[in-house]
Each structure stands twice: as C-alpha cells, then as structure tokens.
Amino acid sequence: MTAGLIVSAARSGSGKTTVMLGLLRCLAEDGLAVQPFKCGPDYIDPAFHRAACGRASFNLDSWAMPMGLLTTQLARADGFALAEGSMGLFDGVAADGETGNGASADIAALTGWPVLLVLDVSGQAQTAAALTLGMAGFRDDVRVAGVILNRVASARHERLCRLAFQARGIPVLGALPRRGDLTIPERHLGLVQAAEHPDLETAIRSYAAFLRAHVDLDAVRAAARGGAVPGTGGRPVPPPGQRIALAQDQAFSFVYPHLLDGWLRQGAEVLTFSPLADQPPPDADVCWLPGGYPELHAGRIAGAARFLDGLRRFAATRPVHGECGGYMVLGRALIDAAGTSHPMAGLLGLVTSYQQRRMHLGYRLARLSDPMPGLPAGTRLRGHEFHYSAILDQPDAALAQVEDADGAAVAETGSRRGRVTGTFFHLIAQAA
C-alpha cells in the first residue's frame, strides 16, 4: 500500500478543504505524483482536488463500497496518497455497511494512513490539545500523526496551543493565521462547483502559498505511512449501455468519478451533451441524466425545446435514467424557490418543489422492484441522497424499495414508467 495521509478534523467547517487543496498543489509543485481521494459520498470536492493537482480524485466509502471496490480504488494510489475526510474523523452512521459505518476513521484503519488533523482553534487554546488527545485514543487502529492549527488569532495564541500539544507529545505541523479571504463559496448542497468558482486557479495558488508559509511540508511528507489492504478487485457497477449519452453541464454534474471510470473500463463509450446549451441527447443506447442544480436553472431547462423534444424522442425507443436533479427534470414540473412552476420533460409524473425546502440527507440501500438500465430487478444497490426538494406528486410505479442506513423505509422510492426510470439517490455501488 502506498504511503499516504488522511486530512481530517473534529467537525465540518474546520478548514479541511483549504488545507487539502493547498497541500495537493504544494506536493504536485514539488514533483510528487500525488493521488487525491475523498472519504465519503461527496461528489463536489473531487473536482476541486483534480484542479489542484491535475489527477482525478476518487471516493472511498466504508458504508457504501464493498471491500473489492475499495481495493480497486486504492490501487490507483501509485504515488503519495492524500485523502480528504468528511465531517469529523469518527462521524458516520449508526449501522455498519459492508466495511464500516462511513467514517473517515474506517479508511484510516483500512489503509494504515495516519491522520493529519486540521483544528479550528478559534475560541480555545490548550483545550485543542485535550480534544486531540481524546481523538488520538478513540480507536486503537487509527493513528493521529499530527495537527495543523487553523484560524490562529495571534503569536501568543499560537504559543499557548503549541505548548499544550508539546506537553502531550502531539506534533504541530503547522499554524495557519486567521484569514477571512481564504474561503470557498458555498450554496445549499455545499461548495459551489469547481467549474463555477470565479477564479479557482488563483484561489488554489493562494492556498498553496499560505501553506508554504505556515506549514512544515517536509514533516507532512515524512508523516505519511502505508499498510497492506486485504481483498482483491471487486466488480464495478455494470454500464447502463454500450454507448451512454451523459448530460454534463452546471445543472447536471454530480457523477461519481469511480462510476464513470468503471463504465469506461468495461468498454462503454460515454458521449456528453449539455441540456443548458439546448443540446438533445446524442445517438446512444441509453441516456443518463445525473444530479446537479436544475432548480437554479429551471426556467432555462423548461425553455430548452431541442433538449426536451430530443429527450422525449430518445425515450420512445431507448432507456432513460435520472438521478436526483436528473430525476426531477424527467418529471412533470419543477417549482423553484420563488414558487414558479416550470414544465419539465413529462416522461414521469413526478412534481417537485424547491420552494417547500426540506433537507433529505443520508445513505440509501435499495432493492430494485423493476429493472433500470444495466441492472435487473432484485439488484441491491447502495447510494446516497442529498437534496432540499419536496415531492408534491409521485404517481408512477415505485422503482425500488428504499431504506436509510438504519433500515427505516424512505418515501423517495424512485419511479418507473416504460423505459424511463429515476431515483433521488445517487448510485455508488452494488450491495453484496
């Protein structure tokens, strides 16, 4: 197993992503072949990772991915591996998945990669060391290699923190002064997409320069370790067709990199098109509409006559599938935040409203009641759902029986009408 580190924290909002992007750029500039990963089901951060180091970033998920798929992902780490955690280091769901509960700590234990904690020390000093000491001893199979102090208020503040860590034998590998200008814009599903950032390259250069000035990069590199990962390569999700028409633009961008990579490795051809540019699906065996932000572009999508007409013609003879935002566009109408109802493709009877905001967030375990492209009825799938739209009408046949990680049934069962299917969950892997 290649040497690597997990960049994690005690909670969300501590500065993991800023540190991750800065480290990726610094290591790449220093000539390392650095392989980024993202712990958990996030589909926005990997695009930022790629922009920072020039290499595709892949998800590592201990709840949703079987060991074989995790092993396949980890085999990509042919240089220095750097994985960004999600939420806090030990945060996951109550019920274990096939290899864990979804916590970043599971990946640290599996790979042997030590944890580099990013600590927001605003409003505290010596207590940060006490919290870290507790985290360092929480699991015997997870090792904390050191910390980077973030949002340090002054030289005195830094000295107090360092003295406390030194007394407990915890290495401080950097101390980042408080700066309000090094933030990444956010919206309701997290960070804005990398492609929408007003000047991402300038921002990443700023993060890298900031870390070079305040972090011991040699010590970070020296802290990396690796271990042996059990298991062999697993089966990827089969492609939904030989030629796949894939919607790709700012409204349809949430596709897990490992999913596309798996399709391509199995010989499928992916043909992209842009609904926002009013492009119809190209000639293919199946059309796939991923999630994204259609609620922000509902009027434009409703007015994209060539796209909608082409999609309807496509669905008359070939399968079409939509995930989350793509599922909403396949429906009858989408109501935006202002309460305006926009007609969608009408291939399903689904009506959704972003005006009646309600967060839907969590892992999903589904058993298909009917087939969907590439997958027969009865297939068990693991995925993740995250959106704020409310279902006002869902009249079509349920595509699947869907449960959350605790085994409770959820109402977002997906839909099937003829050749058209859709789900609110984003597919990650087949369940065992």
- The Cα-based distances of 66 to 104, 228, 245, 291 in angstroms read 15, 17, 28, 23
Please say if 324 is a catalytic residue: yes
Cα gap 337→198, rounded to integer Å? 24
Of 290, 312, 307, the closest CA to residue 425 belongs to: 290
Determine the Cα–Cα distance for residues 333 and 313; give it in Å rounded to an integer: 19
Please say whether the beta carbons of 99 and 66 come within 8 A: yes
Which of 193, 189, 426 lies closest to 323, judged by CA?
426
Token pair for 271? 């043909």
Q: Name the burial class of residue 180, with classes exposed (0-12), middle (13-18) and buried (19+) by CB atoms within 10 angstroms of its CB.
A: exposed
**Choice among 26, 39, 53, 324 that is catalytic:** 324
What strand order describes the sheet that includes 80-84?
Answer: 58-60, 34-39, 80-84, 4-9, 115-120, 144-152, 172-177
Q: Which residues are catalytic?
A: 324
